[in-house]
Structure formats: C-alpha cells, structure tokens
Chains A and B, each alone.
Chain A
Amino acid sequence: MASSSTSVVVSNKEKENKNTKKVTLKSSDGESFEVDESVAMESQTIKHIIEDGCANNEIPLPNVTSGILSRVIEYCKKHKEAAGESEPSVTSYTSNSTTNPLTEWDTEFVKVDQNTLFDLILAANYLDIKGLLDLTCKTVADMMKGKTPQEIRETFHIKNDYTPEEEAEVRKENQWAFE
C-alpha cells in the first residue's frame, strides 16, 4: 500500500516539472531572465534553438537589450495565457478588435517612445514573433495615417532632400491626394 502511494506522488511531481519547464534568456547587456519554456517558444527563433537541443538551459540573445527583452517576455506571457484560455484551434489573432480579446492590452503595450517601438520591431523580427511584429508595424503605420508629408517628416525626423521644385513636381503628379 505504502509503495503505491509513493509512486503516485512521484508521477504527480514529474507532471509538475514538465508543466513548468523553464529556460533562461540572456540579454545583450548580460541580464538573465528565467521564463516558462512554453512562453519562450512564442518566439520561433527560440523554439528552433530549443528543438535543436542547443539550449543548454541558457540562450544568449546578443541582439536584444534587457529593457526590450523584458517587454518582449511580457508580451509573450500575456499572449500565451490568452491562447491557453481559448480553444486550441483558435491560435491566429486578427487585428479585428471584435475577435481579438487582447486589443486593448496590445494598444497600451505599444504606447512607448519611438526608439523603444523600433527596438521592439527589431526584436520581434530577430526573435520571429509574428504577433508582436504585426502589432508594432501596424502601430508605425497608424502614426503615418492621415498625415501630410511634412507632418510625417516631423513625426519621424526625416530629412527632406527634395529641392522646392522637385517637391512641387511630385505633388503635382498626384495632386488629388493633397486636396
């Protein structure tokens, strides 16, 4: 009797370990972040590293600073949680707010300064996290919508290298868009 109850306890513990398997991510500035493996695997890049057996418990990410990495992890955690709560078949989020329950959270998440936003784009690209890349790219696009060329230049600090004559010519080419 005693031995059977022991074996039950052991197998439960095994299950626990499987569920909370962790992996450590190391940022470019040497900071270590321990996260659930399932959360880390939101990144296709990390997923491949783990699947190829090259993890060794610590994965260096020389292209991502600690500040950005912590945000990325926050994003992955939140989206992994939400995916866990819904049907397994529903894994692709559209940007349609009526179907994406995280729209509000996402909107707050990208309310950051431009430098951070672009760093997030680079990180999402390097780590291959589609949802984050789509979200950040769309945010940049939204910052251009409805703006005149001058307003776009001011928003993103772009140098206008047209001469006044060239600029007038380009405007005339598509005059309809400037009315």
Chain B
Amino acid sequence: MEVCIDFLNWLDPDISVQILMYLEDPSDLVHVSSVSRSWRDFVIANGLFKHLCLRMFPQLSRVARVMELNKCRAKKPVEVGSSYSMEWESLARDHRVYATLAQVCTSFIFEDCISEAISASSTDHYPDESIHNTLLPAYTWRASYWSSEGQSNPAVPETLIYKLKSEFCVITEINICPFQQHLSSLHIYSSNSVRFRMGHPKGPYDLGSRHLGDSLPCNADDTFIWTYTSPEFPMAQEGCLQNFRLPEPVLCIGGILQIELLGRVQRHEMDGLFYICMSYVQVVGCSLSPTFCVEILEPSGTFVLKNDMQGKSYTPPSLPKNEAQGNKYAVEFIDEYESGEEEDEAEVEYAL
C-alpha cells in the first residue's frame, strides 16, 4: 500500500529543492507549481524559476532586482493561501518574471542580431574599407570588406565592435568570412584565432554622436564594460563563412559585442605588412525585447531586469529566401496574453 506523503513538504527543504532543480524544462516546473497550493508556495519561496534561469544563463547573476512594467489592470496575482508581505510579493514577482523569461527561452527565433557597426580598432583606406562593409551580405560578390591597418608585427590584434538589436539578446553563434583577395589567390586575410566579448556601454553612451565606422576608434576599454568573454576559437585561413558556435547560449546584457581578431597571418605583397580583413560578420541569436529590457546600474554593473507585460512576444520578420547563413529552427511562438483575455496560440514553422 502506497503511503500518502506529500514529500515536497515532508522532506528537508534542501532536499526538495535539490529534487526540483533537476527539472530543466520550464514546463515541468510550471506543472509542479500547479499541483497544489503548498507546492506552488514552495516553488515561489525557494526561487526555483530564478534558479532555472540562472542555470541557463549564468549572466543573470548580475540581476539586482526585477520589475514588472505595464502590469495588467486589476489583474491580481494569484496569492492563494499565502500570507501577503513585502518579502512574499518580491518572491512572487521574481517567480512571475523568471517564469516568463523561461518561457521566452523555449521559443527562440534565431536571426542576425547586429543592428549596427560601432568601430574597428584600426581601418585602412577609410571609409572604403570600413567596418560597415562587414554588414553587407557575402553573396553580393562585391569586393567589400573591412581592412585593418598594416603591421610589421603579426601579433598585433584587432577588434571589431557591434551594437546588437536590443540590450537583451541571447547569442548562440557568430559567423565570420575572412577576405580573400581574389578567388584564385591564396591571399586570405584571416586572423589566427578569434574571441568574443559582450557587455554594455560604460555610462550613457550616445552612439548617434559617432560616425558609423569612424576612422578614429573609440578606446574600447574606456567606453565599454565586458561581462562575458568567450573561449578562443582557431580561425581557418579560408575565404569562406566560418561558424563559431559558443559553448552555451549567452545572454548579452547591454547589447554590445566585440570580436577580437588575434594574430595576423597574411602579408600584403605591396608593402610586406600584415593585415587582417573581413568580408562579412553575422551574429546569430534572438532578441528578448520588447518583452524584456534592462537598466544597467552604474557603478556596480548590476542591472534591473524589466518585464514589459504588455510587450508582445517577438514577431519574426519574414526571412529572406537567400539568407547567407544561419541555422533555421522550427519553433512555435505564443502570443503574450493581456488582461485576462487569452489569445489563440499561433504556430509558425520556418524551414530552411
């Protein structure tokens, strides 16, 4: 005869938390919260959705607090059977916001996330060979590329900095095509290896005041704070689109991405100097705006995670048929419901 024990409340809380932390699928955690009042209270009290999101994106450890914007009129949160208090309300808010974040992260639509180029560490023949060229798709078959200045020392690195579509993006991979002088030539201006950093501007940063791809590079370390650094990836000396997949999807908080090009391999025959040139750059990921936005708190570098409850889930643009690169995923997305009314779920599939 099976004994009727409500194990969640009967075991040590630490053990119950350990059990629930093995649930990686956000839907499972939602189902657990729906089992009974005490189970839901347990999930809220122990911040289990927050733990789930932190495991997916360690970058969230820098969240100072969460906020709900445009909260639906008169939609009282379900505070069933729990004593109302400031602390509880804070836990309940965390629960709602992180559950929404977990949901959004189950329905990604991946696309190129670069909004604009900010600057390059150096540029040859500005503006003809500016960083702006890296945003033009490779299939145009023009000799369009960014070039660094020449160096006699091959160890001198270069950096390219881009602004992403929003301040809150999940990035999965970066595709880069080094410039090959002629199709038949072996002169390929790749670098030895690449590394990626993500972060946010230090203090208010007016990107509009800078000319796109300005020949005077901003001093990156003074202007940006990097909160994520990827491992170093070797780069092939091939003039084709190379894929650099991050070991785990990364949450870019602040919307700034830097590509570090380490080590030069190609000399130019005219001056004998080493150059790095790139034809095309693509950053693949998913923007979590407008459902989510962030406010960076200086000087701590922590941030406020804001859930706009009336922000619709991201609506994908129609993808161009000859998209140069990019993995395609079949996904479904669900419209955010508003103020008590449920909208129909829409299922959209994107095939390659």
Contact = CB atoms under 8 A, between A and B. Distances in A.
Contact of A140 (B7, B28, B33, B40): B7
A158 B6 contact: yes
Contacts of A13: none
A166 B36 contact: no
Interface stretch (B12-20, B200-208, B237-245): B12-20
Interface of A: 113-115, 118, 121-122, 125, 133-134, 137-138, 140-142, 144-149, 152-153, 156-162, 166-167, 169-179
A177 B102 CA distance: 10
A169 B15 contact: no
A146 B27 CA distance: 8
Contacts of B37: 161-162, 166
Given A118-B7, A144-B28, A147-B28, 11 more contacts: A121-B15, A122-B11, A138-B19, A144-B31, A159-B6, A161-B37, A161-B81, A174-B30, A176-B27, A176-B107, A176-B334
Contact of A160 (B8, B11, B32, B36): B36
B23 interface: yes
Interface string B13-54: 001001110110111101111111111100000000000000
Contacts of B2: 113-115, 157
A162 B80 contact: yes
Nearest to B34: A149
Contacts of B107: 176
B79 to A, nearest CB: 10
Contacts of B106: 176
Contacts of B96: 173
A105 to B, nearest CB: 20
Contacts of A173: 78, 96, 99
Contacts of A142: 22
Contacts of B8: 158
Nearest to A146: B28
B339 to A, nearest CB: 11
Contacts of A161: 36-38, 81
A179 to B, nearest CB: 6
Of A113, A140, A148, most buried by chain B (CB within 10 Å of CB) is A140
A134 B19 CA distance: 8
B342 interface: yes
Contact of A179 (B18, B78, B81, B345): B345
Contact of A152 (B4, B11, B22, B35): B35
Of A133, A160, A167, A173, most buried by chain B (CB within 10 Å of CB) is A173
Nearest to B99: A174
